[in-house]
Structure 1
Amino acid sequence: MNTQSNPGLTSAEIASLWSNYLSDSMAVQTISYTLSQVEDEDIRSVLQLALNLSQQHVQFIQNLFTNEQIAVPNGFSAKDVNLNAPRLYTDDFFLLYIQNLGKLGMTTYTMALSNAARSDIVQYFKQNLSTSADLLDQATQVKLTKGIFSRAPYIPKPEKVEYINDQHYLSGGWFSDKRPLNAIEITNLYYNIERNRVGTALIMGFSQVAQSPEVRKYMVRGRDVSEKHVNIFNKIMHNDHLSTPSVWDAQPTDSSESPFSDKLMMFHITTMNTAGIGQYGAAIGSSQRTDLN
């Protein structure tokens, strides 16, 4: 057992910090572009908070890796962003994007914290978890103030405790009656509709400005996959007469000049894919109706 007051970083800690560095160095460039375009001052304040947090994370990890004699990852820099590129997204999309970033940060830092042991790393991820919650709350409050916050569906309040007595509760096949969705399943569907709408809008913009034909093709395929998932989830919700996230102006502008390098856009989408797989896995684990699984 290592009893040193400052032991070396474990593989789990290095992996979390390495991934954190790459994601936040990308976020610094992405949010810097949004700040060069945003007009709404309330939304600007949320974006500025997100930028400050990402810059702090990048600096902390860079200093830590240097002190630990660990190679600093080749992340993203000002070379990967064109701050003078025309507007590609609306202010409302910037706000929804940052709100989604806050949700993603809370999930990521929770996992990183659960695998950390060294006191300074534990404190770092605890602080990041707290500030991600603050970022999410600030973005949510701005959406509420502007009347663009979409609430999950309301359901009747449970009046008594009930137990499942047979396997019919799991039914959801093509030839069997489907029971109504439960609250957990509604939550999973609603959140994944919203997440995929963010992804659809983001990747649509990327598909029209990417330089490489291969990257453009990849982005178009991603757009089609996200739209397919949204349509499937919407249909399931509508079959139970449940509301879905309200439609908002998520279409990118007609700009064809890219604000970002193809490298940054590909990393951004593959990172979202990774998060999406994790979120679908969590939904599978908590959904009991067979058709949803």
Structure 2
Amino acid sequence: MQFNENNIRLTSAEMSQLWGAYINDSLAVCVLKYFLEKVEDKEIRPILEQTFELSESHLEKLTSIFTVENFPIPQGFTDEDININAPRLYSDTYFLKYVYQMSQLGLNAYSIALPTVTRADILAYFSECLTEFIELHKMTTNLLLSKGLYIRPPYIPTPKEVDFVKSKSFLAGWLGERRPLLALEISNLFNNIQRNALGVATLLGFSQVANSKEVRQYMVHGKEIASKHVEIFGSILREEDLPVPMTWDSEVTDSTVSPFSDKLMMFQTTALNGIGMGYYGASIATSPRHDLATHYARLSFEIGKYSEEGTKIMFENGWFEQPPQAIDRDELAKRKS
């Protein structure tokens, strides 16, 4: 892949997407390196190896882009942020579910990146990443299915005819008669439960092993929030006599030795907070029933407060790497005077 053939500068959108991709891939390399040290399942190992190789190749290509652009290569995460000799913290099933969610998040991230970039080489890079993650998603889905671990969204009857909404009660949620959930509303609830359930397991493990008391307490609080969200969304599905996906708490061992630095765990948690708020925002936009929109808005605010607490912890410990930003013209003027 050729980079910057026409000597066109990176736009702010391209800088932000490339910088964020480097940070995320450096984290993935660290996490997957630990997973590969512990995995025993012969079918799961090849998927972890392929995902690890993808992330490493991304770092190489991103480093080439930054070098050509004289752009400082981010620090991200390194071998100093992992302890591959730490005991197993999660099961092989968790490893597979983690990569499955990683593939979904990658598809979302790269599909967001593509419309924002302009330069041909950057467009080609993110297009290639998207194609790779489509294949990764297929692989993880197929393996989950073959192992009986894939949880399908609820089934509902096929519509018998085309119809149109005739009543304002279509939007009602808190008062009066509520209509049944739409297929898309069910899908939103189901997927938000799935993401939060994996979040509960992740934060449960982090809370056991974090070195800092402040970070341990933060992880416990996050686990409680995610568990509450699982219960709220699950209760809505149960009211409609729809199945609720299982949780993954049992996939966490009793280890108290951390395989990851507090910095890495805090970054992963705050990053997932932002992603979760994004999914809740999309759920608001596609859930006409008023009670659902209210739930998502209220719970988004709760995540926002929790995320802010985490960001402050990262500031205080010097763990928050500065993203690319505009020049402070007022500060330059003050220096001149």
TM range (shorter): over 0.9
CA contact (8 A) 1:35 1:44 kept: yes
The answer for the alignment partner of 1:63 in structure 2 is 64
Give the AA of the match of 1:181.
L
Per-residue deviation, residues 194-225 of structure 1 (Å, max 9, x unmatched): 00011110011001100111111110110000
| Separation in structure 2 between the aligned mates of residue 65 and residue 36 of structure 1, nearest angstrom | 30
Q: Mind listing any 5+ residue stretches in structure 2 that lack a counterpart?
A: 294-337
1:155 aligned partner: 156
TM-score (norm. length: structure 2): 0.84
Structure 2 Cα separation of the partners of residues 23 and 250 of structure 1: 27
> Paired residues, what number?
289
Q: How does 1:33-182 map to 2 (within 5 A)?
A: 33-173=34-174, 175-182=175-182
* Contact preservation (8 Å) 1:6, 1:118: no
- C-alpha displacement at 1:249, in angstroms? 5.6
Does the 8 Å contact 2:83/2:260 carry over to 1? yes
Runs of 4+ residues over 2 Å off in structure 1: 246-251
Higher relative contact order (CA 8 A, sep 6+): 1
Q: Which residue of 2 aligns with 1:183?
A: 183
SS at match of 1:291: helix
CA distance in 2, matches of 1:135, 1:6: 33
TM-score w.r.t. structure 1 length? Answer: 0.96
1:208 and 2:208 matched: yes
Q: Which is worse superposed, 243-252 or 211-220?
A: 243-252
Task: Give yes or no for contact 2:207–2:217 (8 Å, CA) kept in 1.
Answer: yes
Cα offset for 1:177?
Answer: 1.8
Letter aligned with residue 226 of structure 1 = A
2:221 paired with 1:221: yes
Q: Distance in 1 between matches of 2:62 and 2:37?
A: 26
Secondary structure class of the residue paired with 1:41: coil
CA displacement at 1:247 relative to structure 2:
4.4
Per mean C-alpha deviation after superposition, the further-off stretch among 65-74 and 225-234 is 65-74
Identity level (%): 45
Q: Distance in 1 between matches of 2:98 and 2:16?
A: 25
Offset at 1:63?
Answer: 1.3
* Alpha-carbon separation, structure 2, partners of 1:181 and 1:163: 15
**Structure 1 match to 2:9:** 8
Contact 2:93–2:251, Cα closer than 8 Å, also in 1: no
Any unmatched runs of 5+ in structure 1? none
Q: Deviations over 1:94-132 (max 9, x none)?
A: 100100000000000001101011011111111111111
Structure 1 pair 249/43, CA: closer, same or farther in 2 (3 Å)? farther
Give the superposition deviation at 1:248.
4.8
